[in-house]
Structure 1
Amino acid sequence: MVLFVMFDMPTNTKRDIKKYTKFRKKLLELGFIMFQYSIYIRFCKSLVIAQKYEKKIELSAPLGGSIRVIKVTEAQYKNILTIENYREKPEKKVQKQTQTILIF
């Protein structure tokens, strides 16, 4: 089971940023990893364990934001389609190591 936590929180004031940071740190303490900005995931061995983490998230959710929690099976997770379209082309990997010598 894979647990996704997606959230949008205001970050207009210092107080808002503190709430955001505290919630994000709590997710990391609970063993979540960042999947994308404001999307964190955690692998759980069973539905029961996933539900326990849902409860923990609910208890630590700050006011003034929107949080969504989704449970998917590992089979569904493996079928994620990833499309990476960058405006700038990613750097090409150097296939052969080269050396440049500058003589002054």
Structure 2
Amino acid sequence: MVMFDLPVLTKPQRRRATLFRNDLLDLGFEMAQFSVYMKFSGSRPAVDALAYRVQSRIPPEGNVSILSFTDKQYGQMRVFNGGARQERDTSRGQLLLF
């Protein structure tokens, strides 16, 4: 999970923030909220490599946090929409090779 708070007061800052969000999408992240992006990675080395790629794209201003947690911890997350609990889609679009 990548969470960030980037300045957007000037046109160059907005451009850098948009570029960073687009880079996250290009890396396969999905937007959970406007400044929270998530991606599933199957192993710790994959998480470390992905974190390095994200780190190399961080704009010079602002705060970016990268949080990793296990699949089980993610599955235990409680999501609410308007006060009502929302059921999570636990299916993954992973390929199965024989």
Shorter chain as denominator, the TM-score bin is: 0.7 to 0.9
TM superposition score normalised by structure 2: 0.81
Q: Could you tell me how far apart the structure 1 residues matched to 2:23 and 2:31 are? A: 12
Name structure 1 gaps, 5 residues minimum. 87-104
Give the fraction of aligned pairs with identical amino acids, expressed as a percent: 31
Q: Could you tell me how far apart the structure 1 residues matched to 2:6 and 2:28 are? A: 21
Q: Secondary structure at the match of 2:80?
A: coil
Q: Could you tell me how far apart the structure 2 residues matched to 1:58 and 1:11 are? A: 19
> What's the CA shift for 1:85?
2.6
Runs of 4+ aligned residues of structure 1 deviating over 4 Å after TM superposition are none
Q: Could you tell me how far apart the structure 2 residues matched to 1:9 and 1:71 are? A: 20
1:44-63 map, 5 Å = 44-63=41-60
> What's the CA shift for 1:8?
0.3
TM superposition score normalised by structure 1: 0.77
Q: Secondary structure at the match of 1:77?
A: helix
Q: Could you tell me how far apart the structure 2 residues matched to 1:59 and 1:83 are? A: 33
Larger radius of gyration: 1
Q: Which has the higher contact order (CA 8 A, sep 6+)?
A: 1
Partner amino acid for 2:31? M
Partner amino acid for 2:59? P
Number of aligned residues: 83
> What's the CA shift for 1:71?
0.3
1:69-80 map, 5 Å = 69-80=66-77
Q: Secondary structure at the match of 2:82?
A: coil
Give 1:22's match in structure 2, choosing from 19, 29, 33: 19
Alpha-carbon RMSD: 1.0
Q: Could you tell me how far apart the structure 1 residues matched to 2:5 and 2:28 are? A: 20
